[in-house]
Amino acid sequence: MAFRRRTKSYPLFSQEFVIHNHADIGFCLVLCVLIGLMFEVTAKTAFLFILPQYNVSMPTADGETVHYRYGPKDLVTVLFYIFIAVILHAVVQEYILDKISKRLHLSKVKHSKFNESGQLVVFHLSSVIWCFYVVVTEGYLTNPRSLWEDYPHVYLPFQVKFFYLCQLAYWLHALPELYFQKVRKEEIPRQLQYICLYLVHIAGAYLLNLSRLGLVLLLLQYSTEFLFHTARLCHFADENNEKLFNAWAAVFGVTRLFILTLAVLAIGFGLARVENQAFDPEKGNFNTLLCRLCVLLLVCAAQAWLMWRFIHSQLRHWREYWSEQSAKRRVPAAPRLAARLIKRESGECGSACGRWAPPAPWTRPAAPPPQRGLFGSCRGLTGMWLGPDGLSGGGGRQVRQGPLWPPRAGRRWGGELWQEACLQAGLGDPIKGGRLPLCPRLPPCSASRPGCLPGCRLCLSLQG
């Protein structure tokens, strides 16, 4: 039974072989246990792996009912269902998640989170349905006093004990899956945190005989987690879908409040009024002030930590959102220079410079050959000695020498005429630091300003 397509064979029992075939290995072990049920010699040992142990028959008005206690043999049953969880994990990954992720074309980071949320959605959904069925059939919702009355709850119904064993098996199987799934190192600490939290709370409720209270708290917690991971899966499919996240944010705070209220009511007030208050591990009684304070402290600390992480993440998302909005507002619009109607004569330049866009409709005029006028050709006018501050006497490089450049003594072109021409064209004062856009017909300018628009106002002003 192959769960993954393999195109490369690995050495037997090597690291890569175990990683790629761990589900097949687990299936073989489960199959061996099931085959053991067929033979009388091995049937008792096989039942030790499959069924819960420590059953006790208790007389009732309708007859006898079978209840269960916990003991060391439960570890064998948990081990068997760890392999069952590994197999189911591989089936969900191979036949559901991999097929969906191929269509979404996710990145490596999103692909890892998608697989994590996909597995947890399946687990939380099945756990919510199962837990709700147990809570309703046992009458824990209709009679809240039963959560602390008749403590200690040493004898458990079959479905309650089997539920706890399966929960422990799933969260224990999640630890080696971090290695088998090759989870990124950055994700391992975060996943270890919530795995250990679930193990501590579930095992604590099971060993301290608080199974009834633990069922109700798990029902509330799993419902919230199911909504969160469903919202994350929908976000991977459609990044603009934020409705489920908003619903989860509203439910999350209410769930924390319900869990804290129920824990304080059952442990702080309910168990404190029970007559049997003593520390007797043999009878399963842990109803002392110290034990109650430790349990309350653990539950309250976990809920406070979850609430702090939730508030911190929400504030971070809000800061990122408002920073993006403010960044969009700060982007300045491209300045548009007002068009000027200038009389053009024969021999004027049709070259372009600057970022002035003529009003629509507009067609590019045919560029006439350069002609010599009062100040020489248009190429000569724009090919000046340019520096970092526009027209300057140094710090730049000479693009081209015009017929009137460089200026000689006695010519007004070297300073006053150039300043007057720039001011008339609306380009600023070049002597006081005004910028001079270059003509794109020259090779250096075409390389530096490939997107210049037609209509050189400086050339038009000089030639006009």
> Taking CA 373 as the corner, what is the angle to CA 370 and CA 377, rounded to the nearest 5 degrees?
35
Q: What is the DSSP string of 67-132?
A: EE---TTHHHHHHHHHHHHHHHHHHHIIIIIHHHHHHHT--HHHHHHHHHHHHHHHHHHHHHHHHH
The reply to whether the predicted model has a pTM over 0.85 is: no
380 and 404 Cβ atoms separated by less than 8 Å:
yes
Q: What is the CA radius of gyration of the chain?
A: 40
383 and 400 Cβ atoms separated by less than 8 Å:
yes
Can you give the pLDDT at residue 453? Answer: 40
346-397: pLDDT as tens digits: 444 444 444 444 444 544 455 555 444 333 333 333 334 333 333 333 333 3
Can you give the pLDDT at residue 379? Answer: 38
Q: Which segments within 290-398 are labelled E, that is strand? A: 385-387, 390-391, 397-398
HSE-CB for 125 with a 13 A CA cutoff: 9
Can you give the pLDDT at residue 8? Answer: 67
Can you give the pLDDT at residue 238? Answer: 79
Q: Give dist(CA 245, CA 229) in Å, integer.
A: 9
Can you give the pLDDT at residue 424? Answer: 65
**C-alpha pair distances (Å), 190 with each of 119, 193, 263, 304:** 16, 5, 26, 17
97 and 114 Cβ atoms separated by less than 8 Å:
yes
Q: Give dist(CA 273, CA 275) in Å, integer.
A: 6
Pick from 87, 93, 89, 141: nearest CA to 115: 93
* Two tokens, residue 421: 């021409």
Pick from 439, 459, 456: nearest CA to 447: 439
97 and 115 Cβ atoms separated by less than 8 Å:
yes
**C-alpha pair distances (Å), 386 with each of 314, 391, 393, 445:** 53, 5, 8, 11
What backbone torsions phi and psi does residue 47 show, to the nearest 5 degrees? -65, -25
Can you give the pLDDT of all 464 residues of the chain as single tens digits? 444 555 567 777 778 888 888 999 999 999 999 999 999 999 999 999 999 999 998 887 777 889 999 999 999 999 999 999 999 999 999 999 999 988 888 888 888 899 999 999 999 999 999 999 999 999 898 888 999 988 989 999 999 999 999 999 999 999 999 999 888 888 999 999 999 999 999 999 999 999 999 999 999 999 999 999 999 999 888 777 788 888 999 999 999 999 999 999 999 999 988 888 888 888 889 999 999 999 999 999 999 999 999 999 889 888 887 887 787 777 655 555 444 444 444 444 444 444 444 444 544 455 555 444 333 333 333 334 333 333 333 333 333 334 434 444 333 444 555 566 666 666 666 555 544 444 444 333 333 344 444 445 444 444 44
Q: Which segments within 230-370 are labelled E, that is strand? A: 279-280, 285-286
Q: Give dist(CA 166, CA 134) in Å, integer.
A: 14
Can you give the pLDDT at residue 385? Answer: 36
Can you give the pLDDT at residue 230? Answer: 94
What is the residue type of 196? C
Tally of residues, the chain = 464
Residue 389's Cβ-count burial label (10 Å; 0-12, 13-18, 19+) is: middle
Pick from 385, 368, 386, 392: nearest CA to 441: 368
* Two tokens, residue 163: 């539920």
